[in-house]
Amino acid sequence: MLLLAGRIGVSSLAVGALVGAFLGFLVLNYVGVRQLGVQLRLTLNWKHSGLYEWVRLSLPLMLGVSLVTADTWIINHFAAHATGEIALLNFAKTLFTAPMAVLGQAAGAASMPFFAALIGQGKHQEFAAQVNSSVTRLIAISFLGSAAMIGLARPIVDVLLRGGALHEADAVMIAKYLSIFSVSLFLWSSQSIYARAFYAAGNTFTPMVAGTVILLLSLPLYWELYHLQGATGLVIASDTGILAQTLAMAVLLNTGGLVRLSGLGWMEMGRALVAALVAGGVLVAFVYGVPQLAGFVGALIQLIVGTVLWVSCCYGVLQVTGSRLPEEIKGRIFGRKKLA
C-alpha cells in the first residue's frame, strides 16, 4: 500500500486490502497447517460428509442478516440525507471498530475451536463455564476500554484524523459519535462469544433467526431516532439494536440450557464498571477541565497523559475492590497461569 500510494493514490488502499487478505487469510494459514504436518490437496467431493456438514452450518449464516453486518448499511442509508454525515459517522464507527475487533472478533475466533472441542467431548458443564468466563472477562475489559474511548475521544480523533479538510466542528462531532458508540463496546464483544457458543454447539439456525428478527424490528427505531435526533439518533439506535441482539442470544442460550446467565461473574463485572466510571470521570475532568496545548502536539500529550491516568485509575480501583482482572491480564501478557 505504501509503495503504491505515490503512483495510484487512494486506490492503493484497496490494493493493500486485497494483498493483505490474500497473505493473511490464505498464505499464512497454509504455511501454518503445513508446519503442523497437514498435507493439503484440492478436491471436490459432493458426497463428503464434511462438505455436507459445512453447508448445513453455513447456509443459515449466508441467508440471515443481523445487525452485526447491517448496522453500517442502515446508518449510511439514513445519513445519506444529510451532507457529510456519512463520512463523520463512518470515521467514528471505524475508530470504534478497531478495539471492538480486537476484543470481540479476535476473542470469538480464538475461543471457537476450544468451545467446539468441549462440546464434542460431551463436557457441557465445562463448556458453559468457559463461555461465561470468556463473556465475563470481555465485558469487564470492555467497560474499561469504553471509559478510555469516551474520556479520550477528542484527543483520539485529533491525533488520528485531524488534518486536510477535517475541521474543528467535524472533529467535535466525530468525537461525540465515537463516545456514544463506545458505550456499546461490551455488547459487541459479548455477543461475539455468545454467537460462537451457538456455532460450537452445531446450531447456526437459532442465532440466524434471532438476528434477522431483531434487525427487522430495529429498522423502525433507526427511522424514528433519526428523525428525532439526526445522526446522533442513528448511533443511539445502533447501541440499542446490539443491546437487543446480545440479550436475545444470552437468553436463548440460557433457556436452551446451554449457558446459564447465573454463571456470569456479576461481581467481577461490577468491579470493572466501578473502575470504568471512576477512570472515565477522571479523564473527562482532565481533557475538558485542564488547559491544554493546541494542535497535534497538544492532542498527543493529552492522549499520552490521559492513557497513563486511565491505567492508573483502573488498576487502583480494581485492586482496592479485590478484582482478579489485573492479575489475569498480567498473567496472559507475561505467561503466568490464569487464576482459577
Q: What is the pLDDT of residue 303?
A: 94
3-state secondary structure of 339: coil
Residue 14, phi then psi, degrees to nearest 5: -65, -40
Q: Is the CB of residue 226 less than 8 Å from the CB of residue 234? A: yes
Task: Tell me how far apart the alpha carbons of residues 320 and 311 are, in angstroms, rounded to a whole number.
Answer: 14
Name residues whose C-beta falls within 8 Å of residue 126's C-beta, 6 or more positions apart in sequence: 118
Q: Is the dihedral of CA 136, 137, 140, 146 positive or negative?
A: negative
Residues 237, 230: Cα–Cα separation, whole Å? 11
What is residue 165's predicted lDDT score, i.e. its pLDDT?
Answer: 60
Q: How far apart are alpha carbons 161 and 319 in whole angstroms?
A: 35
Residue whose entry in the numeric block shows the C-alpha cell 465515537: 178
233 CB neighbour count, 10 Å cutoff: 19
The pLDDT tens digits along the chain (340 residues) read 566 666 677 677 788 888 888 887 788 888 888 888 877 777 777 777 777 777 877 777 777 778 888 999 999 999 988 778 999 999 999 999 888 777 767 777 778 888 888 988 889 999 999 999 999 999 999 999 999 999 999 999 988 887 656 788 888 999 999 999 999 999 999 999 999 999 988 888 999 999 999 999 999 999 999 999 999 999 999 999 999 999 999 999 999 989 999 999 999 999 999 999 999 999 999 998 888 777 888 889 999 999 999 999 999 999 999 998 888 877 666 655 443 3
For residue 334, the model assigns a pLDDT of 63
Global pTM value:
0.84
Position 284 scores a pLDDT of: 94
The string of DSSP letters for 135-195 reads HHHHHHHHHHHHHHHHHTHHHHHHHHH-BTTB-HHHHHHHHHHHHHHHTTHHHHHHHHHHH
Q: How many CA atoms lie within 13 A of 196 on its CB side?
A: 28
pLDDT of residue 333: 64
CB–CB of 185/96 below 8 Å? yes
Q: Which of 184, 180, 158 is nearest to 169 (CA)?
A: 158
Per residue in 295-335, pLDDT tens? Answer: 888 889 999 999 999 999 999 999 999 998 888 877 666 65
Q: Which tens digit of pLDDT belongs to each residue from 28-61?
A: 888 888 888 877 777 777 777 777 777 877 777 7
Beta bridge partners of 166: 163
